[in-house]
């Protein structure tokens, strides 16, 4: 499995913003990029129970407004917004913690733009690992989505897991983590603190440490 790491990661715009959620300090990780397909097709790819496993992971549940879902080996939650073909949102519940995802799609010339926001309360986990804890996983997922949209070929999960352990896979996760460190600093965080969090997160994704850290899967 070959991925042009610099090209794929360079297609994503990333940002980190600070605010509040339910009256508590929170941070939002945002990724946006274009796909060479229509909004209707991209919507189906990211919301269909049959197509999600082809680029991300197996999913169970009732994929409609108010329904509960569960991603195999990963997060589950409740769908809180469902407005085809441009907007859905859901809770993202993993390891006893709840965060929130919000996805919007928009047509842009002959392409479709996807914007994904993942909001988390600022607490111990965030202070230890920073935005890369979810950001690296979402970078992997969006890369997997591009590969699927471009080729129509479903991901082979064993091949993907082997790739993540390869030098190229580790380069992808390191580069993604560095992008998230830069975005974190741009949000106003002390550069040394941002680097410490980024280093811990990159080490985890590279298999060099095993903290209790949630991430949204590989998707590649």
User: How high is the pLDDT of residue 215?
Assistant: 45
CA 166 to each of CA 64, 96, 163: distance values in angstroms, whole numbers, following the listed order: 37, 31, 5
**SS3 (DSSP) at 34:** strand
User: How high is the pLDDT of residue 26?
Assistant: 96
Sheet arrangement for strand 68-71 = 13-21, 24-35, 111-121, 97-108, 87-94, 76-83, 68-71, 59-61
Q: Is CATH 3.40.50.2300 the right assignment for the domain spanning 5-205?
A: no
Domain ranges of the chain: 5-205
Per-residue pLDDT of the chain (220 residues; tens, 9 = 90+): 678 899 999 999 999 999 999 999 999 999 999 999 999 999 999 999 999 999 999 999 999 999 999 999 999 999 999 999 999 999 999 989 999 999 999 999 999 999 999 999 999 989 999 999 999 999 999 999 999 999 999 999 899 999 999 999 999 999 999 999 999 999 999 999 999 999 999 999 998 875 444 444 433 2
């Amino acid at each position: 499995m070959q991925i042009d790491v610099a090209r794929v990661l360079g297609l994503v715009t990333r940002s980190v913003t600070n605010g509040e959620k339910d009256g508590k300090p929170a941070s939002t990780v945002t990724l946006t990029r274009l796909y060479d397909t229509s909004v209707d097709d991209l919507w189906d790819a990211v919301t269909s129970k049959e197509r999600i496993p082809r680029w991300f992971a197996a999913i169970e549940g009732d994929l409609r407004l108010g329904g509960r879902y569960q991603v195999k080996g990963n997060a589950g939650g409740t769908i809180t917004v469902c407005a085809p073909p441009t907007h859905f949102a859901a809770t993202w519940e993993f390891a006893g913690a709840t965060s929130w995802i919000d996805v919007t799609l928009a047509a842009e010339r002959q392409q479709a733009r996807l914007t994904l926001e993942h909001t988390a309360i600022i607490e111990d986990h965030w202070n230890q690992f920073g935005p890369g804890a979810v950001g690296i996983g979402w970078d992997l997922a969006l890369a997997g989505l591009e590969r699927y949209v471009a080729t129509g070929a479903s991901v082979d999960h064993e091949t993907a897991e082997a790739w993540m352990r390869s030098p190229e896979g580790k380069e992808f996760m390191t580069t993604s983590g560095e992008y998230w460190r830069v975005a974190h600093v741009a949000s106003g965080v002390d550069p040394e603190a941002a680097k410490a969090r980024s280093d811990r997160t990159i080490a985890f994704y590279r298999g060099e440490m095993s903290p209790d850290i949630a991430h949204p899967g590989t998707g590649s």
